[in-house]
Chain A
């Protein structure tokens, strides 16, 4: 596969752009929301908000396992643009850096937030994973293997 994998999510938020930008960049605020489940806890958030500066967020999931995500800022244009690299210290799903772009556009309700997370196609990022498409592909592989081209 030669193209980059990309996820784009848009969401309308009922607060002004600068409040959303602040939630993304103030470590005290990050500590209050940067989790992907209710049971998850945010243990620490360190932010060095300058281009080339790093961030590091320590999360603890419901099983008590610690997960760390970190990266560095590549674009900072308050209060509308924030771009940073994204990397898990340990992950079964991705290795190496990916890139997150957060765009905050003024909108009638407050803010239209567009988040773009890109994984660049490169050898080192590839890893088999037993979910989703790999299930279809396992079937496909079995099919291909059962065919005799000669």
Chain B
């Protein structure tokens, strides 16, 4: 039921999520971030890849809504974003449902005014 209701927005996100996780380094980054906030430099060291490569992977994960990062001084701290993504999609779905019903009610009211 939920899958049928997904709008384009969400479908794009879903394919982005799977693309993002299709790479072993990115999967490892998500796995590592589950333990808590981690600086990008530390991720690079643990994965034995360059900081540049790590930041590129990070950008893919951020676009897919799986991770987020914030610059603190000279460091970029990365953390997991799974919950936020779930929450946003749920909000979109519920908000759309609520307004559609409310606008149905507005329409009925406006037509009833016509008859008065």
Per the bound structure, the CA–CA distance linking A46 and B94 in Å amounts to 25
Residues of A that sit less than 8 Å from B by CB: 1-2, 5-7, 9, 11, 13-15, 19-20, 23, 29, 32-37, 93-94, 113, 115, 117, 119, 121, 125-129, 131-138, 140-141, 144-145, 147-149
Closest residue of chain A to B65, judged by CB? A1
Q: Given known contacts A1-B84, A20-B110, A33-B108, is B27 in contact with A144 (CB within 8 Å)?
A: yes
Q: Does B45 contact A (CB under 8 A)?
A: no
Asked whether A36 and B34 contact (CB < 8 A) given A128-B83, A133-B85, A149-B24, the answer is no
User: What is the CB-to-nearest-CB distance from A121 to chain B, in angstroms, rounded to a whole number?
Assistant: 8
- In the complex, the chain A residue whose C-beta lies closest to that of B93 is A132
- Cβ contact within 8 Å between A115 and B87: no
The answer to whether A149 and B27 touch (CB under 8 A), given A20-B110, A33-B108, A119-B91, is: yes
Chain A residues lying within 8 Å of B114, measured Cβ to Cβ, are 15
Q: How many A-B residue pairs have CB under 8 A?
A: 136
The majority secondary structure among interface residues of chain A is: mixed
Chain B residues near A144: list those with CB within 8 A.
Answer: 21, 27, 30-31, 34
Closest-by-CB residue of B relative to A38 is B105
- Residues 20-43 of chain B, each 1 if its beta carbon lies under 8 Å from chain A, else 0: 010010011011101000000000
